[in-house]
Every structure is written in C-alpha cells, then in structure tokens.
Amino acid sequence: MAQQVGSRIIRICEILEILGPSTSAEVHVYIDQCSIQNVRTYCKRAVSLGLLTVSDGNHTRYLPNIYSIAPNWRQIVDSKKAKPVQPKKIAKLSGKFAVNSVFQLGGL
C-alpha cells in the first residue's frame, strides 16, 4: 500500500512553494504548534515521498539541509491519496438451516 501524505507535509510543501529553497528552521517559522524536530521529520518524509529535494549542506554536519519543492509535487500527492476500500460481498444464507458450529461454516 502506498504511503499517504499528511496535511502537515502538504502544508510544508505549500510553504516551500512560496519561500523557495529553505531550511527546516525557516519553514518552522510558518507552521503553528509544531516543534522544529517535527518539521525536520516531515521534511525528511516529504523527501522520501519524492515531494521535496534536499541539498545536504555541502557534506558537513554544521551546515543545515536546504529543501526545495519538486516541480510535480501536486501530482504526486494526488496519486497517493487513499482510495476508498470496496466492501467484500457477503454470501447470502438461505433460511433453510441454522449454523450451530464453526465447522458447519466451511460447507457454505
């Protein structure tokens, strides 16, 4: 099953679409009631979903990752939306007999 895209990840993508390439700390300013650690996690998840691209701070641990929006991120979100689950058809039982045991269900 494909991983679904949450509302916070969509919000981060919309913010990056307006801001342009930004760090997770810069995005955090525009997200209400969400810690910086959660914003980093959402950005990493968005990268794994293909919604964002990341430049890794020139391979040093002191420069922050800079996230950019993928050009087709809205199409990716639409393709990952949950599809409604079709209920399974249940066989109708005729009223001619009564089931008294689980073992009798195998003969239906």
Assign residue 37 the CATH number of its domain.
1.10.10.10
Cα–Cα separations (whole angstroms), residue 104 to 73, 88, 89, 91, 92: 53, 21, 20, 15, 15
In a domain, 104, yes or no: no
In a domain, 19, yes or no: yes
In a domain, 2, yes or no: no
In a domain, 87, yes or no: no
How many structural domains is the chain composed of? 1
In a domain, 92, yes or no: no
What tens digit of pLDDT does each residue of 80-106 get? Answer: 776 677 777 766 656 666 667 777 676
In a domain, 17, yes or no: yes
Q: What is the mean pLDDT of residues 18-37?
A: 91
* pTM of structure: 0.68
Q: What angle do CA 79, 52, 39 make, to 5 degrees?
A: 105
In a domain, 101, yes or no: no
Q: Which of 27, 46, 64, 70 is nearest to 55 (CA)?
A: 64
Residue 50: domain span:
7-79
